Amino acid sequence: YPFATELAALTKDYNTMVDQITQQVEELKQSEKEKNEMIGNLSHDIKTPVASLIAIGQALSDDILSDEEKQHYLQAVSENAQRITVLADELMQVTIDNESDNNEITTGEVMVDDVLIKVLNAFKPRIDHDQREIMISGLEAAPAIKANEDAVYRILYNVIENSLKYSQSGTPIQIGVKVENDMVSMTVADEGQGIPNDELGKIFNRTYRVEKSRNQATGGHGLGLFITKNLVEKLGGKISVQSKIGQGSQFSVALPVYVF
C-alpha cells in the first residue's frame, strides 16, 4: 500500500498519545484521591479541638471552677482555637494545592518541649478532670527536631489523645524523650486497656479500630493513627507500638534530629 509506513507511524504516534493521556488521567485520579483523603483527615482532626471548646464552654457556664482553673481553661480555649485555625489553613492549602505541602512539613527546627507543652495545655481541662498524673522525663536534654511544628503537634496530639482515651481516669501517663542514632525518640505510655497482639499491626490502617463495640464509648474514626503514621513517615521518622492487654500501651515516635 502507498502510505503504509506513514499510516503505521501515525498509528504508533496515536497509540503513544492515548497511553500518555491515560497515564495523566490515572495521575489526576490518584491526586484527587489523595486530596479527598487529606480533606477527610483534616475534618476529623478539627472535631477534637471543637469538642474541647464545647466541654470548656460547659464547665465555664456551670460555674464550678476556681479562678486558677478558669485561667487554665482560658489558656486551653486559646490553644484549641489556634489549633482550629491551623487546621482550617491546612484545609485551604489542600484545596488550593496539594503538592507543595510535602516539603513544607519537612523543614524547620522544632523544640520538643515547646510543642509538648502546647499539646498538654490543650488537654489540660481533660487531664485535670480525669485526675491524671502526667510524668515527663528527658525533656531538658532533647535536641530540636527537623520538621514543621504543626506536624509534630499533630503527631504528639494524636498519640497523647489516644493514651487519654483508652485508659481509665486516674491512671498515669508517662512521656519520655531521648536521643538515639540521630533521632529524637518520644514515648507515650499509658496503663490502659491495651491492644490485642494480633491487632497491633492493623491499628495504623485507615479507619481501623480495635473491637468496634468496645470503642463505641470513646468516639473516633480510626483515622488518628493513620494520619499520624503518614506524617511521621513524611518526616523521615518511625512510629511503633508495644502493648499488653489489660496492662497498657506504649507508642514511640522517632523523628530526625535537626542538624545545623
- Give residues in contact with ligand ADP (CB under 6 A): 158, 162-163, 165-166, 190, 192-195, 203, 208-210, 215, 220-226, 249
Query: Considering beta carbons, is residue 153 or 226 the nearer one to ligand ADP?
Result: 226
Residue 192 CB partners (closer than 8 Å, separation 6+):
163, 166, 167, 168, 171, 248, 249
Query: Considering beta carbons, is residue 219 or 236 the nearer one to ligand ADP?
Result: 219
Closest CA relative to residue 195, chosen from 140, 246, 240: 246
Query: Considering beta carbons, is residue 150 or 161 the nearer one to ligand ADP?
Result: 161
CB 183 within 8 Å of CB 237:
yes
Query: Considering beta carbons, is residue 77 or 122 the nearer one to ligand ADP?
Result: 122
The least CB distance from residue 13 to ligand ADP, in Å, is: 49
What SS3 class is residue 64? coil
CB 236 within 8 Å of CB 184:
no
The least CB distance from residue 162 to ligand ADP, in Å, is: 3
Report the residue number whose CB is nearest to ligand ADP. Answer: 220
Residue 70 CB partners (closer than 8 Å, separation 6+):
60
The least CB distance from residue 253 to ligand ADP, in Å, is: 13
The least CB distance from residue 206 to ligand ADP, in Å, is: 8
Query: Considering beta carbons, is residue 186 or 195 the nearer one to ligand ADP?
Result: 195
**CA dist 253 to 55, 150, 194, Å?**
29, 15, 18
The least CB distance from residue 126 to ligand ADP, in Å, is: 14
H/E element holding 62? Answer: helix 4-62
